[in-house]
Amino acid sequence: MHVVSANGANIPALGFGTFRMKEDAVHAILPKAMALGFRHIDTAQIYKNEAAVGAAIKQSRVPRADVFLTTKVWVDRFRHDDLLASVDESLTRLETDYVDLLLLHWPKSDVPLAERIGALNDVVKAGKARHIGISNFNTTMMAEAVKLSDAPLATNQVEYHPYIDQTKVIEGARKAGLSVTAYYVMADGKVPKDQLLREIGATHGKTAAQVALRWVVQQDGLVALSKTATEARLKENFDIFDFALTPHEMQAIHALAAPDGRIINPAHLAEAWDD
């Protein structure tokens, strides 16, 4: 598995995401994903499936040290003491003493960013998170978070797929040594139907979905989260490291980006995005 190194964190470039997965689906598919080779698992407090993720990791019998486990603190637990308590609750559900990466899930909050970042740092000092980061932050808030943190930030997890231009966020992250973790790579089902991606895939004996995932991880410092509740799709998602896209193909995929390409945009959680 290709690994992305970012400010001391070694993150498997392909992760298994559990957004909108109910606990029974996690129990059914995550052990199979881990048997296939997935070692980066992404969950969050708001997903309400941390307990299932923890149980599935235990069931897989993969040593905990070999798993890169990420969870995220929800916005209603951003006050310092509440954030610390929420992490303890997450660790109990996940059946582990630590997470490899702990993120602030969204940027908008009445809690000062300094308090939030300070709490993340205290979690690191307590040995309950090996690395910390942010999610859905624009370049301005990302830079502010970097300045406020004693511990280096490892990633900014954002929506990223062929139909959205995240150049500014990616460049800002690289400048600060952060990785960018891409979620929603399938663009809510748009990717598998895309004619260009299907044509590129055909030249490599791959699907459009594999092309999109490869497009992400082939970019320097980028991590892709894949997701499926279907066993047949697991191997497809995992099998993206035996081919490479040409520079022309990479550019053609970048050219699919459009001003209205963003899918996830909750006004009560997100700050103003970069143009």
Percent of the chain with pLDDT over 70: 100
Percent of the chain with pLDDT over 90: 98
Q: Which residues are catalytic?
A: 47
Could you tell me the end-to-end alpha-carbon distance of the chain, in angstroms, rounded to an integer? 34
Going by pLDDT thresholds of 50, 70 and 90, the confidence category of residue 207 is: very high
Could you give the count of Cα atoms lying within 13 Å of 275 in the half-sphere of its Cβ?
A: 0
Token pair of 267 as six digits = 């006004």
Could you identify the residue written with the tokens 């960013």? 113
CA 81 to chain centre: 25
- The answer to whether 212 and 185 have CB atoms below 8 angstroms apart is yes
What does pTM read for this prediction? 0.97
The DSSP symbol for 161 reads: S
Q: Which amino acid is at 13?
A: A
pLDDT over threshold 90, residue 149? yes
Per-residue pLDDT reduced to its tens digit, 88-134: 999 999 999 999 999 999 999 999 999 999 999 999 999 999 999 99
Going by pLDDT thresholds of 50, 70 and 90, the confidence category of residue 275 is: confident
- The answer to whether 141 and 113 have CB atoms below 8 angstroms apart is yes
Per-residue pLDDT reduced to its tens digit, 126-148: 999 999 999 999 999 999 999 99
The DSSP symbol for 267 reads: T
Could you identify the residue written with the tokens 């994903």? 33
Q: For strands 179-183 and 222-226, give the pairing.
A: parallel
Per-residue pLDDT reduced to its tens digit, 18-70: 999 999 999 999 999 999 999 999 999 999 999 999 999 999 999 999 999 99
Token pair of 167 as six digits = 């150049």
Going by pLDDT thresholds of 50, 70 and 90, the confidence category of residue 232 is: confident
Query: Which of these, 3, 1, 6, 2, lies nearest to 157 by C-alpha position?
Result: 6
What's the fold here for domain 3-186+219-226?
TIM Barrel (3.20.20)
Question: At 78, is the secondary structure helix, strand, or coil?
Answer: coil
**Angle formed at CA 119 by CA 116 and CA 121, multiple of 5 degrees:** 115
CA 7 to CA 236: how far, in whole Å? Answer: 30
Q: Where are the alpha helices (DSSP H) in the chain?
A: 23-36, 50-60, 80-94, 113-125, 139-148, 167-176, 195-204, 208-217, 231-238, 247-254
The mean per-residue pLDDT over the stretch 167-177 comes to 98
Q: What is the pLDDT of residue 152?
A: 98
Backbone angles phi, psi at 164, to 5 degrees: -130, 135
124: CB partners within 8 A, 6+ apart: 130, 131, 132, 151
Tell me whether residue 80 is annotated as binding.
no
